[in-house]
């Protein structure tokens, strides 16, 4: 019961962080677009956020192995509170300043993610792979649902409270979450591996390397059109307001999170020992490829872009969520308990690198070639993910 309580507390901290992270992302995109920043400039605002996510996932697993998961968790919460406060100082706002503060937020996010995901491996017996798949899906899905709520919250609070007050509200709320977790959690969550060395940062496991490569292209395919291009396109080309954009993107992520949580049931894995393998990942990556491809074809046929975007978002959300849930299970299934934080850190480094490239390309391709080109880029990256997934380990 103690381990379950500890995990529930970690999960609650992860949820609280995710709410502020989603709100902050929407706030930055909408507010700086309102100030007249171009799509490329907005993409650059997130460049350090994603880059330092890559670094943090790589180093964070090693830090957790040496110092304990609770240390990485509290460090992430504290850094996010600081980042929210620094971004509220409107007189300092500039592209370099926001990029630097977003770096803190990127570090914070991935310290929290790595801590929560790694702790789950320690609670489930190795033979109960179906149970592990279920728990991973619920954690990841609920997190993404809350991120969607955060998108809505960011757009809504920007409209009713303004930029500065929204950031102060978010910082105060997350500080309260951090204090509660500090009180509830023990001094450590994981036996420390004091001999973990920097050479252990890079995975030597072929199956983890292949899964990490597939993850890179999967999340690059999402962010190449979702992060910058979509909200800017909705505002600039379809004349949507802040609240409308925030609501649509929130609804998408909430649906995505719900599907992730429901993936084990949707796939019919009801027994504790039943779980997906590499074949499952390859199949759903291939199905996902059809979503952006259909959107590109529909746009060339002259269908109304509002319906192309909404319809494409719905289909993409369902299949992408199932892909993501399968990947999130496989990384824990492929890992060992003694090296889980190192393996998970390496895997989410690839995840963050995919987001970094996707975010950067989202701004560049949108500004140079338009929204449909971003969707075509997504199809290409999913195609590569699908090919890599055919080489994933089967059970």
Look at residue 119 in the predicted model and tell me its pLDDT.
Answer: 67
Cβ burial of 55 (10 Å; 0-12, 13-18, 19+) is middle
Look at residue 203 in the predicted model and tell me its pLDDT.
Answer: 53
What is the rounded distance in angstroms from the CA atom of residue 108 to the CA atom of residue 85?
Answer: 14
Look at residue 128 in the predicted model and tell me its pLDDT.
Answer: 60
Look at residue 213 in the predicted model and tell me its pLDDT.
Answer: 92
Look at residue 334 in the predicted model and tell me its pLDDT.
Answer: 80
Full domain range(s) for residue 84: 2-185+200-389
Q: Is 193 a domain residue?
A: no
Look at residue 269 in the predicted model and tell me its pLDDT.
Answer: 63
Q: Is 239 a domain residue?
A: yes
Q: Which of 382, 189, 190, 385 is nearest to 296 (CA)?
A: 382
What is the rounded distance in angstroms from the CA atom of residue 272 to the CA atom of residue 359?
Answer: 38
Look at residue 389 in the predicted model and tell me its pLDDT.
Answer: 93
Cα dihedral 59, 333, 289, 138 sign: negative
Q: What would the mean pLDDT of 93-105 be, rounded to a whole number?
A: 87
Q: Is 143 a domain residue?
A: yes
Looking at per-residue confidence, does 368 or 146 come out higher?
368
Look at residue 180 in the predicted model and tell me its pLDDT.
Answer: 85
Question: Which of these ranges, 61-70, 189-198, 221-230, 272-281, has the smallest mean pLDDT?
Answer: 189-198
Q: Is 190 a domain residue?
A: no
Q: For residue 46, what pLDDT band results from cuts at 50, 70 and 90?
A: confident
What is the rounded distance in angstroms from the CA atom of residue 272 to the CA atom of residue 289?
Answer: 30
Residue 157 scores a pLDDT above 70: yes
Q: What share of the chain is helix, strand, coil (3-state, %, to 5)?
A: 85, 0, 15
Query: What phi, psi does 216 have (nearest 5°)?
Result: -55, -50
Q: Is 192 a domain residue?
A: no
Q: What would the mean pLDDT of 13-38 be, rounded to a whole number?
A: 85
Q: Is 162 a domain residue?
A: yes
Look at residue 86 in the predicted model and tell me its pLDDT.
Answer: 94
CATH number where 226 lies = 1.20.1250.20
Look at residue 168 in the predicted model and tell me its pLDDT.
Answer: 93
Top mean-pLDDT range of 193-197, 271-275, 330-334: 330-334
Q: Is 395 a domain residue?
A: no
Looking at per-residue confidence, does 151 or 275 come out higher?
151
How many domains, in total, are found in the chain?
1
Look at residue 124 in the predicted model and tell me its pLDDT.
Answer: 60
What percentage of the chain has pLDDT greater than the value 70? 84
294-350 per-position pLDDT tens digit: 999 999 999 999 999 999 989 999 999 999 989 988 887 887 666 666 777 778 888
Tell me which DSSP letter residue 394 carries: P
Residue 31 scores a pLDDT above 60: yes
> Is residue 26 a contact partner of residue 155, using CB atoms and an 8 Å limit?
yes
Question: Which of these ranges, 25-29, 189-193, 256-260, 273-277, has the smallest mean pLDDT?
Answer: 189-193
Residue 255 scores a pLDDT above 60: yes
Q: Is 195 a domain residue?
A: no
> Is residue 343 a contact partner of residue 61, using CB atoms and an 8 Å limit?
yes
Query: What phi, psi does 128 have (nearest 5°)?
Result: -95, 60
Question: Which of these ranges, 48-57, 74-83, 331-340, has the smallest mean pLDDT?
Answer: 331-340
28: tokens are 């930055």
Cα dihedral 30, 33, 38, 41 sign: negative
Residue 38 scores a pLDDT above 90: no
Look at residue 36 in the predicted model and tell me its pLDDT.
Answer: 84
Looking at per-residue confidence, does 224 or 5 come out higher?
224
The reported pTM is 0.74
Residue 121 scores a pLDDT above 70: no
């Amino acid at each position: 019961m103690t381990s379950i309580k500890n995990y529930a507390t970690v999960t609650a901290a992860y949820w609280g962080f995710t709410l502020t992270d989603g709100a902050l992302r929407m706030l930055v995109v909408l507010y700086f677009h309102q100030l007249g920043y171009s799509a490329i400039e907005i993409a650059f605002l997130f460049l350090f956020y994603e880059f330092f996510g890559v670094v943090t996932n790589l180093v964070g697993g090693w830090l957790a192995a040496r110092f304990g998961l609770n240390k990485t968790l509290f460090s992430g919460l504290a850094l996010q509170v600081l980042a929210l406060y620094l971004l509220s100082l409107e007189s300092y706002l500039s592209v370099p300043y926001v990029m630097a503060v977003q770096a803190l937020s990127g570090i914070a996010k991935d310290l929290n993610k790595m801590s929560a995901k790694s702790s789950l491996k320690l609670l489930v017996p190795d033979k109960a792979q179906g149970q592990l798949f279920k728990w991973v899906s619920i954690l990841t899905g609920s997190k993404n649902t809350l991120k969607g709520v955060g998108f809505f919250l960011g757009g809504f609070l920007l409209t009713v409270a303004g930029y500065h007050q929204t950031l102060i509200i978010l910082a105060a709320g997350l500080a309260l979450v951090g204090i509660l977790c500090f009180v509830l959690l023990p001094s450590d969550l994981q036996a420390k591996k004091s001999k973990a060395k920097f050479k252990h940062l890079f995975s030597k496991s072929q199956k983890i390397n292949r899964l990490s490569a597939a993850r890179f292209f999967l999340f690059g395919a999402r962010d190449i059109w979702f992060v910058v291009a979509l909200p800017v396109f909705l505002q600039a080309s379809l004349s949507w307001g802040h609240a409308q954009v925030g609501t649509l993107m929130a609804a998408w992520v909430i649906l995505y999170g719900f599907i992730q949580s429901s993936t084990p049931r949707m796939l019919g894995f009801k027994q504790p020992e039943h779980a997906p393998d590499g074949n499952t990942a390859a199949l759903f990556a291939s199905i996902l490829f059809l979503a952006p491809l259909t959107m590109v074809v529909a746009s060339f046929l002259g269908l109304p872009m509002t319906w192309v975007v909404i319809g494409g978002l719905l289909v993409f959300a369902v299949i992408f969520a199932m892909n993501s849930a399968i990947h999130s299970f496989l990384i824990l299934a492929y890992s060992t308990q003694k090296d889980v934080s190192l393996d998970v850190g390496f895997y989410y480094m690839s995840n963050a690198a995919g987001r970094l490239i996707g975010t950067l390309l989202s701004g560049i391709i949108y500004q140079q070639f338009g929204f449909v080109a971003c969707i075509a880029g997504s199809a290409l990256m999913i195609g590569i993910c699908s090919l890599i997934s055919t080489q994933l380990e089967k059970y």
